[in-house]
Chain A
Amino acid sequence: MFSQQHTLSGYVKDALTGEALIGVSIYVEKESKGATTNVYGFYSISLKSGEYEVKYSYVGYADILKTIQFKNHVRLNIDLKESQDLLDEVVIDAKQSDENTTGTQMGQIELSIDKIKTIPAFMGEVDILKTIQFLPGVSSGGEGNTGFYVRGGGPDQNLILLDEATVYNASHLFGFFSVFNADAIKNVKLIKGGMPSNYGGRLSSVLDITMKDGNYKSFQADGGIGLIASRLTLQGPIKEDTASFILSGRRTYIDVLAKPLISDTSAFKGSGYYFYDLTAKLNWRLSDKDRLFLSGYFGRDVFTFNNKDLDFNFNIPWGNATASLRWNHLFSDKLFVNTTAVFTDYNFAFEGGSSDFNFKLSSGVRDGNLKQDYTYYHSSLHNIKFGWNYTLHRFIPTSTEASSNDVEFDTGEKVKIWGNEAAIYLLDDWSINERLKVNFGMRLSMYQHIGPFTRYFNNENTGTTDSTIIYSSGKPIKTYFGPEPRLSARYLLPDNSSFKLGIAHNYQYIHLASISSVSLPTDLWFPSTEVVKPQIGTQYSIGYFKNFFNNKYEASVELYYKDLNNLIEYKENSFPEDNLKNNVDNQLTFGRGYSYGAEFFLKKRLGDFNGWIGYTWSKTMRQFDEIDNGVEFPAKYDRRNDLSVVLQYQISERVNIGGVFVYATGNSLSLPERRWFSAEENRIITVWSKRNAFRLDAYHRADISITIDAKKLNRYGIKKKVISSWNISVYNVYNRANPYFIFFDATGDPSQGSVDFNANQVSLFPILPSVTWNFKF
């Protein structure tokens, strides 16, 4: 006689707002079985018939215990209340308390936005990208550089998802801010170790960002007014407990940001800069089995320059727009599916001219994406996921228009590059026994370049076109297949520790090439073609994880080795106009790279005083046959040592102070080694060293911030309608001039006397205080 297995499933939400809670722990002590809610707040756990006590717990919320009689499948939706006691403990993460040791996924970090608002923020703005850069293995490109680098991988190797929509450029101007308004974000998950097979398309990391659903029960407004930017979020029910919305906006002020960029003596006064973000989401619980979500993001940066004396102006608009429609469906208590349709658009333009002459350079990516992700809660031993993903890409790597008075220059047709990208995957999260859990899977991906497309074969010596091949619309030009096996395993050791390992093989079909030494929005996204092969990466990682003092402290050591192939760089002396009547990929050169490192992490999760220390030792090298005759060179962001210290202290009920200290080895760079005098040009010509053979000074800085909550009760003892707080933060407290870039100049007249050669270091951010008033009602 065998006992039947039944399923206990349901959704867990916040009792006050109705917001679905991610990562809630459901634990049945009697059977030592557990489960967690998925990104939509859904859980499913299989049990034999009988009576059980089930505990629902989530950081910052009061536990709920339910006694259940199990004879059939049970659907139990739970509302968790924020715990008054626990609210006073400032906690940084949303994971269940022992996730550090018990989770299989290595190199994964989850951040709950609500709880990280006390980390010192740049210019008073809480920023997701800035925060993840305080974690070991994740580094910034340095002051003012967009993008982030995970374990030695390039900035294009991070898959950034906002409610399942791919975001191509996640930074506003020069990496000051990310495009994500923290008020609208619910959860952030970063995977820097081998990603499981339900993710793909990028080699180094996944940054999976979930927006809030919106308060299902009552209307709510949050916002902040600061020196640099202001933001406002409105959310509320459209139909109580059934449908809700959330609307978020943010904008900066022109002057304050543009000022540090323009020196007083410059002839270029009269410029302005601003950016804005808008996020919107609609949610609808159609039934117990079906939910619908519609989310959108629209953001723009605009840099304008005007000079009437020279009769010259230009402006640089760029930004992302994404829209995603998702449908959750429960086939049964065990089979959950999410179907998503996404539209993504990223474009960048450079327009300028005078009364006589005008030109425009633009570049962009547009995607239409459809996918399905199934989760099959087979049993408490196997949690199976499978699905498929299809994207139609349209790239405009570069498009130029130019005219002089009435004469339109022949810039050729606007080049569009089309491609199909697709993948299917299967994975199993398998609890083999009490100690050993394995997540293994396979992803099969493919990319196909299709027409219309014109392939140019150009003469190296004259720059003219020898021949072209023209492909018609839809015609397949080149197809690539990528088998991507993934494996991660966790072995539980006694005394609350574990040993994990991971192996992942990834293909990446779309790439970013930077035409200058610092990364800018002018960097071009373009796809694989017959000339550009897919980037391939393999990562091996092992780690030891231990929690101390009843999960109050977490510690880990992770070692990794990464092998990268088909990396891309621009050939030297490439200029944007070389893309006219030519293929972008004819300007590229290809190579390989590797990186390895050790990451050390210690975190105090609970208590009035908490925070973390992360230290990474790593090495990242590249090798290209056409650069320096194939000699290995360090990547620009090869950072031998990287240290981050993040601390918070809740001094009193209303006052919280935070501090951050970061230290990183300087970026590598090439230096001028020799020079010669050109009599023809009357100039001194620089001859450079081997690529990246030298180092900038180390980067280090400290930030502090104080958050003071306003009193909750007014003078009559009644609870105030508006809850507010002040945040005062100082960036770069000891005013260190960190290098942004170096330039070299020669001053003097060679024919008159002598000339001095100088190296000059330019820094971007001195000590910057800022004040923000945050409110909520």
Chain B
Amino acid sequence: MKKFYYILLFGFITVSCQKKIEFDLPEVEQTLVLEATVENGFAPKVILTRSQGYFDVFDTMSLINTFISDAQVKLSDGINEFDLDFGLIATNGLPLPGYTTSNPNIIGQFGKNYTLNVYHQGDTLTAKAQIPYPVKMDSVWFDPYIAFDDTLGWIKCNFKDPDTVGNCYRWFSKRINSYTYNYEAPFDNVLGEVKDKRFLPPIGSTTDDKLFNGLKFDFVLPRGVNGVVEGPDDSGVEGSFFSRGDTVVVKSSTTTYPIYLYVRAMENAAASNGSIFSSSGNLPYNVEGDGIGVFYGYGSSYDTLICE
């Protein structure tokens, strides 16, 4: 539902006269940034970095230099506290330097509240997250569009929101089948590659239940986007659509209000960039102390379907 709102924001004004300009920004001190996730069935993932100057050169080398490896990271699940160790962690993407543990007692469980404490070179960060109980989708199906000869369409889900007020959600999709043909350069070599290597949220992926508390209803799930990276089929006709024959895993996650606020603001910033609706406020981070960042908590359930 939120997708329409974001399309409005983005598409409202695209204007004709545009030019690049230069700003001379003074040097600033960089801040400590935390990005962490707890999710049912997964070990905790924590990434610590230092921010960079906005107009600084950005490439793989400079990015690697931002990762912090010498911090103390402690995670509590309300009962026990665990030390997290530095190593390569499997994020929702490429493996990156971060903190986790192989201790099976801290694998995410429904209903638990987690507290993270980070200490680095005199800076302290604290964050809290929760893995809420999941809400399963009652059904998911492929809804082909006649305009595209039924070869493309969106996925539709039906579920009932529990009567309790304050449920927040986020949806993702992952196509686990492979490309059966190549696209134009630079995507002329994708034949045989798995389409989505990770779960991708669409713009407008999160909502609270203010509008539909206790209701059972259908909604549309467009195909997710991979952040700033465009895939072979993201521009052009296939953008936001699933293709007939795709095997899609839909991840429906419950989450908490602070994460809903953060994701909503982050997606709005991404969607409204370039329009007059964009704002220059910082995202509502749920991290306290000497830095910024986000600590996600997801209670996820999965559904697999073949688009036919």
Contacts and interface: CB of A to CB of B under 8 A. Distances in A.
B289 to A, nearest CB: 15
Interface stretch (B77-85, B101-109, B215-223): B215-223
Contacts of A756: 58
Interface in B5-32: 5, 7-8, 11, 13-23, 25, 28, 30-31
B264 A744 contact: no
Nearest to A309: B147
Contacts of A750: 58, 60, 63, 228-229
B16 A577 contact: no
Contact of A520 (B7, B14, B59, B276): B276
B90 to A, nearest CB: 11
B252 interface: no
A312 B91 contact: no
A652 interface: no
Interface in A614-628: none
A687 interface: yes
Contacts of A577: 5, 210-211
Interface string A678-709: 11111111111001001001000000000000
Contact of B52 (A402, A676, A694): A676
B198 to A, nearest CB: 8
A573 interface: yes
Contacts of B135: none
Contacts of A575: 264, 268
A432 B68 CA distance: 78
Interface string B270-308: 100111111111111000000010101000000000000
Contacts of A404: 1, 217-219
Interface stretch (B92-100, B112-120, B174-182, B243-251): B92-100
A674 B52 contact: yes
A679 B228 contact: no
Contacts of A754: 57-60
B41 interface: no
B4 A678 contact: no
A219 interface: no
A682 B58 contact: no
B58 A757 contact: yes
Contacts of A682: 93, 226-229
A687 B53 CA distance: 9
Contacts of B258: 461
Contacts of B38: none
Contact of A314 (B8, B31, B55, B256): B8
Which of B13, B92, B261 has most A Cβ within 10 Å? B13
Nearest to B28: A673
B51 interface: yes
Chain B interface size band reads 35 or more
Interface stretch (A159-167, A260-268, A319-327): A260-268
B233 interface: no
B165 interface: yes
Which of B11, B268, B269 has most A Cβ within 10 Å? B11
Contact of B165 (A305, A465, A758): A465
Contact of B17 (A357, A737, A749): A737
Interface string A143-162: 00000000000000000000
Interface stretch (A102-110, A339-347, A420-428, A760-768): A760-768
A663 B75 CA distance: 58
Given A405-B218, A683-B270, A740 B15 contact: yes
A717 interface: no
A686 B23 contact: no
A688 B28 CA distance: 12
A520 B278 CA distance: 13
B273 A743 contact: yes
Given A682-B226, A686-B269, A755-B59, A359 B4 contact: yes
Nearest to B216: A407
Interface of B: 1, 4-5, 7-8, 11, 13-23, 25, 28, 30-31, 33, 35, 37, 47, 49, 51-60, 63, 66, 91-94, 96, 147, 165-166, 168, 201, 208, 210-213, 215, 217-220, 226-230, 256-258, 260-261, 264-266, 268-270, 273-284, 292, 294, 296
Given A261-B15, A676-B66, 13 more contacts: A260-B15, A463-B257, A575-B268, A669-B280, A677-B66, A679-B92, A682-B227, A686-B54, A687-B282, A743-B278, A744-B54, A751-B60, A763-B19
